[in-house]
């Protein structure tokens, strides 16, 4: 009886279909996992340059690409074969996991593409690389990816998100008229959180002469401990969004110190050439104070022979961790350009690792 029952279960078309779907899902996973290798094997159809870029960008995320392929296959099966109609919760969970995982994966690939190739292209073109513009492009891309994921998820599950937003908007208008001032202050707080003109513990100055340390940033107001008096001034956030704020703590400066060790003693002509290469390779980096760039040569005794060493001091200016980090990446690319140009002129040297970064905040 048990054997007969088990045979009937195994020979059931639904069980067989589920088994086939599971096998094809694993096949889809491995296709995604080895996607870079598949692209590389198609060198006759795709240029080697595209192959190298795809491998460098996609290979670190090969497991997640495979997972997206597997879940994507299950989602397609659920949409067109209706095999999971009896289990709507399972289909909903699979679709939700796929949407979240795909949005995360696309955002990471976009960030890596911008960091590895867009910045490098901007430097090679000789144009000024605006770090704030790259940050804006990143966040715009993130927003577009998340918005597309939400639309995909709601459309495939027959959720009319636009009518939902419209109904919320009608109800929101009534609330907006009733609490207009409060909403202005709350929206001002949102603007401060998104724009970050200052952080807690930053020293700021306002047009009316107020100077002090930011103690807290709330949804409705910001508290500033005034210098000298020691009193706390509470300012509505919507008022701060319309002021010219001078941030004394946010003006960060990072000194990058790079050492070039030459295998001989350079003469004055070579020193002038090295200075010219360094200045032309770094002048177009947005946020780099090229006027403060210093190149100092000195003679060191190495292996009982006099050799030259150049200390290059570069000053990176920024108003936040993200912009400083992005400008460091630009500077590393510029260092590679310096290396190639000097070696192209036949100058034998090596770059001392690692590059030294020294934080030098502006004093108050």
- Quote the domain boundaries for residue 280: 252-359
pLDDT one-digit tens code per residue, 99-154: 888 889 888 888 888 777 666 665 555 555 555 566 667 788 888 888 888 888 88
Q: Is residue 172 part of a domain?
A: no
Q: What is the pLDDT of residue 112?
A: 81
**Domain match, 136 and 56 both:** yes
Nearest alpha-carbon partner for 233 in 192, 266, 205, 268: 205
| Rounded distance between C-alpha atoms, residue 9 and residue 127, angstroms | 68
pLDDT one-digit tens code per residue, 148-191: 888 888 877 777 776 666 666 655 666 656 556 666 767 777 77
Q: Is residue 167 part of a domain?
A: no
**Domain match, 122 and 232 both:** no
For 118-150, b/e burial (b = at least 16 CB within 10 A) is ebbebbeeeeebbbeebeeebeebeeebbeebe
**Domain match, 259 and 285 both:** yes
Domain end position, chosen among 204, 231, 247: 247
Alpha helices per DSSP H over the chain: 2-10, 13-33, 35-41, 48-58, 62-80, 88-113, 119-124, 131-156, 161-178, 180-195, 237-240, 268-282, 321-344
Position 196 pLDDT exceeds 60: yes
**Domain match, 221 and 265 both:** no
Instruction: Give the CATH number of the domain where residue 241 resides.
Output: 2.30.30.60
SS (H, E, C) 266-305: CCHHHHHHHHHHHHHHHCCECCECHHHCEEEEEEEEECCE
Q: What is the pLDDT of residue 322?
A: 61
pTM over 0.85: no
């Amino acid at each position: 009886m048990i054997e007969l029952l088990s045979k009937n279960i195994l020979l059931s078309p639904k069980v067989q279909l589920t088994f086939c779907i599971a096998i094809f899902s694993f096949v889809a996973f491995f296709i995604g996992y080895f996607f870079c290798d598949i692209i590389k094997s198609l060198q006759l159809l795709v240029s080697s340059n595209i192959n190298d870029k795809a491998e460098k960008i996609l290979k670190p995320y090969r497991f997640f690409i495979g997972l997206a392929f597997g879940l994507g296959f299950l989602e397609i099966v659920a949409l067109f074969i209706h095999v999971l109609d009896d289990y709507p919760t399972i289909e909903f969970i699979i679709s939700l996991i796929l949407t979240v995982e795909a949005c995360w994966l696309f955002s990471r690939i976009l960030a890596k593409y911008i960091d590895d190739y867009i910045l490098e292209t901007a430097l090679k073109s000789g144009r000024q690389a605006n770090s704030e513009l790259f940050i804006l492009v990143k966040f715009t891309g993130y927003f577009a990816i998340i918005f597309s994921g939400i639309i995909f998820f709601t459309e495939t599950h027959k959720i009319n998100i636009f009518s939902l937003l419209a109904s919320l908007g009608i109800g929101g208008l009534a609330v907006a008229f009733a609490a207009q001032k409060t909403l202005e202050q709350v929206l001002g707080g949102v603007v401060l959180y998104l724009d970050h003109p200052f952080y807690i513990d930053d020293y700021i100055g306002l047009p009316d002469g107020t100077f002090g340390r930011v103690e807290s940033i709330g949804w409705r107001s910001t508290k500033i401990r005034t210098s000298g008096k020691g009193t706390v001034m509470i300012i509505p956030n919507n008022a701060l969004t319309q002021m010219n704020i001078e941030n004394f703590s946010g003006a960060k400066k990072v000194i990058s110190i790079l050492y070039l060790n030459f295998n001989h003693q350079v003469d004055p002509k070579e020193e002038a050439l090295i200075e010219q290469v360094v200045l032309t390779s770094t002048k177009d980096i947005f946020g780099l104070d090229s006027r403060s760039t210093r190149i100092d040569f000195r003679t060191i005794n190495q292996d009982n022979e006099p050799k030259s060493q150049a200390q290059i001091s570069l000053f990176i200016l920024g108003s936040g961790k993200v912009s400083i980090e992005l400008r460091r990446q630009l500077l590393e690319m510029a260092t590679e350009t310096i290396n190639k140009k000097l070696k192209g002129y036949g100058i034998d040297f090596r770059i001392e690792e690692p590059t030294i970064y020294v934080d030098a905040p502006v004093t108050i």
